[in-house]
Amino acid sequence: MHELSPQQLMTPSARSNFAMLTGSAYISVKAFAVDRLKFGKDYSAIAGSLAESQWLSEGDLKSLQNEKLRVLVRHAFETVPYYRNLFDSLHLRPDDVRTVDDLQKLPLLTKTDLRAQPDAFISRQTNPTFLHSGWTTGSTGMPINVPRDKKSIAFESAMIWRQRGWAGVSSRDRKAAIWGTIWSDVIVPVSYRRPPYWRYNVTDRQLLFSYYHMSERTLPLFLRRLEAFRPSSIEGFPSTLLLVARFMERQRIIIPLKAVFTSSERLFDVHREVIERQFACKVFDLYGQSERVSAATECEAHQGLHVNPEYGITEILKNGEEARPGEMGEIVGTGLNNFAVPLLRYRTGDIAVPAPGKCPCGRAMNLLKYVEGRNADLIETPDGFVVPGNGLMMALHSVENINRSQIVQDAVDHITVRIVPEDPGKPLNVATLVRNLSQCVGEGLHIDVTTAETIEHEGHAKFRWVVSKVHREPKEFSPG
């Protein structure tokens, strides 16, 4: 006779509560381990330094950058095979690159360069065992992993929390977020079709909602839980928060917060207005990338994004020259803090527009008007869920032989993944790719994988990594 498990003996409501408790416990334990990296022994000193350096003059900030650059360049020359070979081929030595202006002596570094010989960028002083991965698909759907060290992680955390401080938010506050994954783990498995569609991270006092489970049917549950939790802030993709804010607008719901934090996508002014109105607070945008070479953060004056000079040296290049205010140019970054895998003059593929003048907040950092990051449409599933396109990034993690990719939803129940292989003669792990993507969109969509020599822009000014040709409710689900 088959014996039922304790979970099978529970009512549906009890099973949901059990899943919530066990999932929250796992996330909270992992958060404790992650926080030991993010807020490790270097964090306090870095945070204190950033609190002071934000008020330095433009000249002093330049001097700080030059000082950090000199240390980084010598380290790269002495311990990183790629840069030793590069400097030798150019007949350069570390003393030839002592200032930001001297970086012009070095060629631009491309994603293709990085992918061609990833091990050559790892410092010989670094034990690869203790590195932490940093996966991204980039702006062109090209998967890249740039490992980083503990100090780089602590610096990233201190930079983020400096901005949170500008918004009046403390690490002790209750916080909410709408993400699909956290630390490479899915918050709520896509296969779950019963609430709760959220987990509670006790360690960080953070309520995590799953953007894989957003629909007209589930958003009332999201909002009731959010109101009951009473967080000080919420964070997520602009497209995700816009979807929630538009639903709130239709239902005449306002949930006052201290701040909304957005990242990873372009935040349009018209969408900012909707989000700010429904949450009765200001939006604070952030730009960064998994390669960690450049970062920009919006302050309390909301006059643009402050380029963080302590984080990296940021060039905005148009046709090889520095873009002028109002002109669009590519972000080229030199990260100043990841000594495990230093990247000098790295082409991010992201487009930015410099803003004129300085911010009235009194900080002397350069300003960006906006950044065009990874462009991606929303995906609609047959059962009514709406998934942000950038939430599909995990589908390409660890899938080899991909030079460029694009995900196209051409019917409500069908997705085509277009792949440009690095080596057409080598096999592509289609089964892994389909399995990974199914974990993001569920089993209701049939997924085909095709290969091609190139992927066209399909009429868009900037490459769209996820394209949806499904427009059942464009007013409600389109971010643009």
Of 254-258, 269-273, 401-405, 409-413, the one with minimum mean pLDDT is 401-405
pTM of the model: 0.89
Mean pLDDT of the chain: 90
Backbone dihedral angles phi then psi of residue 176, each to the nearest 5 degrees: -125, 155
Give the pLDDT of residue 458. 56
Of 28-37, 366-375, 464-473, the one with minimum mean pLDDT is 464-473
Of 56-65, 232-241, 471-480, the one with minimum mean pLDDT is 471-480
Strand (E) or helix (H) holding 144: strand 144-145
Q: Is the pLDDT of residue 472 over 70?
A: no
Q: Which two tokens stand for residue 445?
A: 């969509």
Q: Is the pLDDT of residue 479 over 60?
A: no
- CATH architecture of residue range(s) 43-156+290-372: 3-Layer(aba) Sandwich (3.40)
In this prediction, residues 213-225 reach a mean pLDDT of 96
Q: How confident is the model at residue 12 (pLDDT cuts 50, 70, 90)?
A: very low
What's the number of CA atoms in the CB half-sphere (13 Å) around residue 90?
Answer: 17
Of 11-15, 230-234, 240-244, 368-372, the one with minimum mean pLDDT is 11-15
Give the pLDDT of residue 137. 64
Q: Which of 342-368 are b and which e, b meaning 16 or more Cβ less than 10 Å from the residue's Cβ? A: bbbbbbbbbbbbbbeebbebebbbbbb
Q: Is the pLDDT of residue 67 over 50?
A: yes
In this prediction, residues 126-141 reach a mean pLDDT of 73
Q: Is the pLDDT of residue 47 over 50?
A: yes
Strand (E) or helix (H) holding 48: helix 43-53
Closest CA to 374 of 350, 396, 395: 350
What are the boundaries of each domain within the chain?
Answer: 43-156+290-372, 375-477
What would the pLDDT profile of 413-435 be if each residue is shown by its tens digit? 999 999 999 888 899 999 999 99
What would the pLDDT profile of 292-344 be if each residue is shown by its tens digit? 999 999 999 999 999 999 999 999 999 999 999 999 999 999 999 999 999 99
Q: How confident is the model at residue 141 (pLDDT cuts 50, 70, 90)?
A: low
Give the pLDDT of residue 127. 85
More confident residue, 465 or 103: 103
CB 200 within 8 A of CB 207: yes
| Residue 437, strand partner residues | none
Q: Is the pLDDT of residue 43 over 70?
A: yes
Name the percent of the chain lying above pLDDT 90. Answer: 74
Q: Is the pLDDT of residue 178 over 90?
A: yes
Class of domain 375-477: alpha beta
Q: How confident is the model at residue 4 (pLDDT cuts 50, 70, 90)?
A: very low
Give the pLDDT of residue 457. 65
29: Cβ–Cβ under 8 A, 6 or more apart, which residues?
A: 203
Give the pLDDT of residue 224. 97
Q: Which two tokens stand for residue 183?
A: 């630390």
CA distances to 50, 210, 328, 476 from 219, in Å? 38, 11, 37, 13
72: Cβ–Cβ under 8 A, 6 or more apart, which residues?
A: 334, 336, 339, 342, 344
438: Cβ–Cβ under 8 A, 6 or more apart, which residues?
A: 190, 445, 447
| DSSP secondary structure letters along 270-313 | HHHHHHHHHHTSEEEEEE--TT-S--EEE-TT-SSEEE-TTTEE
CB 368 within 8 A of CB 352: yes
Q: How confident is the model at residue 182 (pLDDT cuts 50, 70, 90)?
A: confident
Q: How confident is the model at residue 400 (pLDDT cuts 50, 70, 90)?
A: confident
Of 76-85, 143-152, 195-204, 238-247, the one with minimum mean pLDDT is 143-152
Closest CA to 390 of 409, 371, 406, 376: 376
Q: Is the pLDDT of residue 3 over 60?
A: no
10 DSSP 8-state letter: S
Number of other residues whose CB lies within 10 A of the CB of residue 38: 18
What would the pLDDT profile of 433-448 be if each residue is shown by its tens digit? 999 999 999 888 999 9
Q: How confident is the model at residue 464 (pLDDT cuts 50, 70, 90)?
A: confident
In this prediction, residues 245-274 reach a mean pLDDT of 96
Give the pLDDT of residue 462. 66
Give the pLDDT of residue 129. 79
CB 207 within 8 A of CB 175: yes
